A and B are shown apart, each in its own frame.
Chain A
Amino acid sequence: MTIDLKTVKHISKLARISVDEEKADKLAGDLNSIFDFIEKLNELKTENVEPLTSIAETTLRFREDKINSQNIREKILKNSPDENKDFFVVPKVVE
Chain B
Amino acid sequence: MSNITNQTLSELIKNIKSKKISSTEVTKAFVERSEKSKKLNAYITDNFSSAIKKAKNFDEKPNFELKLPGIPIAVKDLFCTNGVKTTAGSKILNNFIPSYESTVTQNILDQGGILMGKLNCDEFAMGSSNETSFFGNVQNPIKENLVPGGSSGGSSSAVAANLTPVTIGTDTGGSIRQPASFTGTVGLKPTYGSCSRYGIVAFASSLDQAGPISKNVKDASILLEVISSFDKKDSTSIEFKRNQYSEELTNNIKGKKIGIPKEYRVEGMPQEIEDLWRKGIEYVKECGAEIIDISLPHTNYALPTYYIVAPAEASSNLARYDGVKYGFRSPGENLIDMYEKTRSEGFGEEVKRRIMIGTYVLSSGYYDAYYLKAQKVRQLIKKDFDEAYTKVDAILTPSTPSSAFKIGEKTNDPVSMYLNDIFTVPVNLAGLPGISIPAGTDQKGYPLGLQIIGKPFDEQTILNIAYSMEEKIGFKNQITDWWI
Which residues of A sit under 8 angstroms from B97, Cβ to Cβ?
A: 78-79
Residue interface mask B230-260, A partner, CB < 8 A = 1? 0010011010000000000000000000000
Kindly state the separation between the CA atoms of A42 and B348 in the bound complex, as whole angstroms: 31
Kindly state the separation between the CA atoms of A92 and B156 in the bound complex, as whole angstroms: 46
Kindly state the separation between the CA atoms of A8 and B353 in the bound complex, as whole angstroms: 11
Kindly state the separation between the CA atoms of A18 and B375 in the bound complex, as whole angstroms: 29
Asked if residues A79 and B96 are in contact (CB atoms below 8 Å), the reply is yes
The chain A residue sitting closest to B323, CB to CB, is A81
Kindly state the separation between the CA atoms of A82 and B322 in the bound complex, as whole angstroms: 13
Asked if residues A52 and B325 are in contact (CB atoms below 8 Å), the reply is no
The chain A residue sitting closest to B360, CB to CB, is A11
B347 at the interface (CB under 8 A from A): yes
Asked if residues A56 and B376 are in contact (CB atoms below 8 Å), the reply is no
Asked if residues A17 and B324 are in contact (CB atoms below 8 Å), the reply is no
The chain B residue sitting closest to A53, CB to CB, is B375
Residue interface mask B271-315, A partner, CB < 8 A = 1? 000000000000000000000000000101101110110000001
Which residues of B sit under 8 angstroms from A53, Cβ to Cβ?
A: 206, 375
Asked if residues A52 and B327 are in contact (CB atoms below 8 Å), the reply is no
Min C-beta distance of B290 to chain A, whole Å: 28
Kindly state the separation between the CA atoms of A41 and B304 in the bound complex, as whole angstroms: 7
Kindly state the separation between the CA atoms of A56 and B339 in the bound complex, as whole angstroms: 34
Asked if residues B379 and A50 are in contact (CB atoms below 8 Å), the reply is yes
**How many residue-residue contacts, CB under 8 A, span A and B?**
157
Residue interface mask B378-400, A partner, CB < 8 A = 1? 11101000000000000000000
- Name the one of A31, A55, A76 contacting B430, with C-beta atoms under 8 angstroms: A55
Kindly state the separation between the CA atoms of A54 and B332 in the bound complex, as whole angstroms: 38
The chain A residue sitting closest to B431, CB to CB, is A55
Which residues of A sit under 8 angstroms from B406, Cβ to Cβ?
A: none
The chain A residue sitting closest to B379, CB to CB, is A52
Which residues in A have some Cβ–Cβ distance to B below 8 Å?
A: 3, 7-8, 11-12, 14-19, 27, 30-31, 33-34, 37-44, 46, 49-56, 58, 60-61, 63, 72, 75-76, 78-82, 88, 90-93
Q: List 22 A-B contacts (CB under 8 A).
A: A3-B360, A8-B356, A15-B343, A15-B359, A16-B319, A17-B344, A33-B414, A34-B415, A37-B418, A41-B308, A41-B377, A42-B373, A44-B380, A51-B375, A51-B376, A53-B375, A56-B238, A79-B97, A79-B325, A81-B329, A90-B324, A91-B331
The 4 A-B residue pairs with the shortest CB-CB distance, nearest first, are A55-B431, A51-B375, A79-B326, A81-B329
Which residues in B have some Cβ–Cβ distance to A below 8 Å?
A: 95-97, 99, 192-193, 206, 232, 235-236, 238, 298, 300-301, 303-305, 307-308, 315, 319, 322-329, 331-341, 343-344, 347, 352-353, 355-357, 359-360, 363, 370, 372-380, 382, 414-415, 418, 430-431
